[in-house]
């Protein structure tokens, strides 16, 4: 699916992170370091010589953090949408976990405990292909109801 319009920064961030992660970028970075090391005797290993590499790497690192984070945020959203589609399309999955990423960390930890219990139940299951959902755990019913209420609020 081709997007209709991306911001100039989104296009730049995507291209920059792809370029920075390439083999050529690594080779160029290694060459810069080699050239810097070779130039050490020429500049008598001066403070300015050291400052050049320190300043350059600091600036590049600082900028790359933001570019990489931008790309990671976009990728995380895309993956979450794909997972939500799989959950929504599955007959055996609980649709209540669609958009679960909007829950608080405490709620996610609690939800994870339900799935841990579900995994324990599945180990006892005689049919290894049996399908189970979080509704099968029957643990902490009040807690489950609070969690479901929160999920319903989010999905409105």
Residue 74 within any structural domain of the chain:
yes
Residues 85 and 116 in one domain: no
pTM for this model (two decimals) = 0.59
Indicate the SS3 state at residue 44. coil
Q: Is residue 148 part of a domain?
A: yes
Which of 34, 60, 89 finishes a domain?
Answer: 89
Same structural domain, 38 and 111:
no
Q: How far is CA 27 from CA 33, 34, 63, 65, in A?
A: 10, 10, 20, 20
From CA 8, how far away is CA 5, in angstroms rounded?
A: 9
* 48-92 pLDDT tens trace: 999 999 999 999 999 999 999 998 988 888 898 888 888 778 777
- pLDDT of 10 > 80? The answer is yes
**Tally of domains within the chain:** 2
> In degrees to the nearest 10, what's the CA dihedral of 45, 50, 53, 56?
-140
Examine the fold and report which residue of 34, 62, 89 is the final residue of a domain before the chain moves on: 89
Q: Out of 67, 89, 111, pick the residue that ends a domain.
A: 89
Look at residue 3 and tell me whether its pLDDT is greater than 60. no
At residue 140, the pLDDT reads: 47
Residues 17 and 76 in one domain: yes
Looking at the domain assignment, is residue 21 inside a domain? yes
**Pick from 15-19, 39-43, 57-61, 104-108: least confident:** 104-108
Q: What tens digit of pLDDT does each residue of 94-151 get?
A: 777 777 888 888 888 888 887 787 777 777 777 766 666 665 555 545 566 777 787 8
Q: Which residue would you say has higher pLDDT here, 18 or 136?
A: 18
The answer to whether position 2 is within a domain reads no
Would you state the pLDDT for residue 103?
Answer: 82
Are residues 85 and 109 both part of a single domain?
no
Domain that holds residue 122: 95-154
Q: What is the pLDDT of residue 41?
A: 95
């Amino acid at each position: 699916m081709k997007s209709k319009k991306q911001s100039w920064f989104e296009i730049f961030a995507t291209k920059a992170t792809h370029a920075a992660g390439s083999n050529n970028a690594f080779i160029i970075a290694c060459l810069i370091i080699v050239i810097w090391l070779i130039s050490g005797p020429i500049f008598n290993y001066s403070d300015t010589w050291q400052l050049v590499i320190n300043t350059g790497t600091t600036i590049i690192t600082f900028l790359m953090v933001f570019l990489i984070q931008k790309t990671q945020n976009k990728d995380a959203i895309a993956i979450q949408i794909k997972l939500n589609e799989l959950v929504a399309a599955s007959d055996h999955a609980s649709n209540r976990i669609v958009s679960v990423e909007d829950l608080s960390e405490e709620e996610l930890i609690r939800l994870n405990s339900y799935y841990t219990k579900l995994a324990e139940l599945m180990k006892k299951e005689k049919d290894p292909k049996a399908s189970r959902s979080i509704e099968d755990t029957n643990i902490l019913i009040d807690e489950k109801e609070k969690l479901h209420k929160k999920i319903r609020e989010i999905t409105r």
